Amino acid sequence: MKNNDNINRHEILKIFRKYRQLTQQQVADMAKINYRQYQKFESGERDIMNATFELVCRVLDVLDISINKFYKGGYAYLLNENIKKDMNKIKEAILKEEFVVTASYIIPTKRMKKAK
């Protein structure tokens, strides 16, 4: 990933952690990493994109973040200043996104069952 593709992914980590109502310690424990290491990722002191893919996957899994969207910058909409300052708007944006993603997977599954 190029450096100019950095879209403040550390802020995405923090937004999702707060949305999931977890502490930094809880995320670190569940991802099986050192607390200070997670703190550095979330503060931007250390770029999570420079960590091993396995470690990134563990952190994103704990936060229930799509690996594909995270790597491609698909959560950049959460960094909008109007959304970022208001946890209710964050929750609304994430829930809307989760519903759209979930719905797109449910519809094809139902169609496949009918075809059998």
87 has a pLDDT exceeding 80: no
Question: In the chain, where are the structural domains located?
Answer: 3-115
DSSP letters spanning 28-90: HHHHTS-HHHHHHHHHTSS-GGGS-HHHHHHHHHHHT--HHHHHHTTTGGGG-HHHHT-HHHH
94-110: per-residue pLDDT in tens?
766 654 444 444 333 33
Asked whether 49 and 3 are in contact (CB, 8 A), the reply is no
| Statement: the pTM of the whole predicted model exceeds 0.85 | no
- The CATH number of the structural domain formed by 3-115 is 1.10.260.40
34-85: per-residue pLDDT in tens?
999 999 999 999 999 999 999 999 999 999 998 988 988 888 777 766 565 6
